[in-house]
A and B are shown apart, each in its own frame.
Chain A
Amino acid sequence: MALTEKDLSRFEATFFEEAEEHVATMEQALLALETSPDDSELVNSVFRAAHSIKGGAGMFGFGALAEFTHALESLLDRLRQGRDRPTPRVADVLLRSADTLRGLLDAARLRGQEPTEVGAMRESLERELDAVGGKPNANGSSQARDRHAGPQEIRDVEVAFEPGCELFARGMDPLLVVRDLLSLGEAGRVRSDLSSLPDLDALDPEVWLPALRRRASHGGERLCDPRRVRLRRGREQDRHHAPSPRG
């Protein structure tokens, strides 16, 4: 299946359309939080909206947008754990962040300059995150890390990820999935099985073929199509000897 510029434009347009809806959802929920600060579902809905925007932004390569929503998501994740109710100051920062998010979306859509306040707003988000005792981690989710924090729970896991051939046609990049997988553990190693890579002359560049494997120390978390991912415990000797780059 050939993927055309028109296809990509359509995927992007859908992303922007949905992102606008997510921002609207965020704003409504944040306004409602002012009168119902204990309503955890409101925080959850804001978190889900930010998470969705971050995922799409990363997929389409809108780095500034992905980074900003990462900071926003980190703070929301902390709040949704219920350890801290949003103070009026935090609520104000979150609301202003939604405005900045709109500006970043416009900049991404029009390939224009990002809003001038992005840096300052990001610092505000990180300041509030520090204030509630959290630090952004690689995937923006402190909860996932906390859940597996006990040293007795850490184990080697090998993830075999076999992206479907239709991946590009669906507007996805397997490298972004690997990046998310790597963010879940420490000292992860990746190797690609290139045995199915066709010869250059026979290659259809819009069909993805190699499979990717990674190994990391982590409790195990599924991020993508389970039909395409396999998890298994690493062998004991692998804990002490790095795997060869090629399998």
Chain B
Amino acid sequence: MSEDSNVGIAERSERPRTLRLSGAVDVARVRPLLDVARSCGAGGSPVIIECSAVERLDAAGLQVLLALAKKLRSANLDVKLRGPSEAVLEAVRLAGVETELPIDEG
């Protein structure tokens, strides 16, 4: 597991890969998020974004998640949100990207 403890972003290497987010996922912390997202995107497996502990998600953070979803979808791989917090649900609703970032019901 690689982890950046400063930004609450962690990636677990298994199938599907899990990207764990917590705290503020915003423009101030978007660089490490992008690094982890690129790592997930290169894994060749579906990705679950565990985001129940996200307290804030702004457009910068959302943009990275959307770019990750776009990359994986082009390879016929899914990206799903697991246990999205209110902050995540609100950001997804405001951006109208429920289709691109669906919730994992499993």
Residues of chain A whose beta carbon lies under 8 Å from any beta carbon of chain B: 3, 5, 8, 61, 163, 167-168, 173-175, 178-179, 182, 189-192, 194, 197-201, 203, 205-206, 208-210, 212-214, 245-246
CB–CB A203/B58 < 8 A: no
Q: Which residues of B contact A194 (CB under 8 A)?
A: 66, 70, 97, 100
CB–CB B96/A212 < 8 A: yes
Give Cα A178–Cα B94 distance, bound, in whole angstroms. 6
> Count of chain B residues with Cβ under 8 Å from any Cβ of A?
32
Name 4 extra pairs, CB < 8 A, besides A179-B94, A200-B38, A201-B38: A175-B58, A175-B91, A205-B33, A245-B98
| B68 to A, closest residue via Cβ | A200
Q: What 3 A-B pairs are tightest by C-beta distance, nearest first?
A: A190-B96, A205-B30, A191-B96
CB–CB B63/A203 < 8 A: yes
Chain B 12-34: CB-based contact to A (< 8 A → 1; otherwise 0) = 00000000000010111011011
Give Cα A197–Cα B68 distance, bound, in whole angstroms. 11
For residue B71, CB closer than 8 A to chain A, the reply is: yes
Q: Which residues of B contact A210 (CB under 8 A)?
A: 63, 66, 95
| B61 to A, closest residue via Cβ | A205
- CB within 8 Å of A: which B78-106 residues: 91, 93-100
Find A203's partner among B62, B67, B94 (CB 8 Å cutoff): B67
CB–CB A200/B95 < 8 A: no
CB–CB A168/B60 < 8 A: yes
CB–CB A192/B96 < 8 A: yes
| A172 to B, closest residue via Cβ | B59
Residue with the greatest number of chain A CB neighbours at <10 A, chosen from B30, B60, B64: B60
Give Cα A208–Cα B62 distance, bound, in whole angstroms. 10
Q: Which residues of B contact A191 (CB under 8 A)?
A: 96
Q: Which residues of B contact A245 (CB under 8 A)?
A: 96, 98-99
For residue B41, CB closer than 8 A to chain A, the reply is: yes
For residue B37, CB closer than 8 A to chain A, the reply is: yes
- CB within 8 Å of A: which B35-64 residues: 37-38, 41, 56, 58-60, 62-64
Q: How far is the CB of B26 from chain A (nearest CB, A)?
A: 7
| A245 to B, closest residue via Cβ | B99
Q: Contacts A197-B67, A200-B70, A203-B67: A174 and B59 contacting too (C-beta < 8 A)?
A: yes
Q: Which residues of B contact A5 (CB under 8 A)?
A: 28
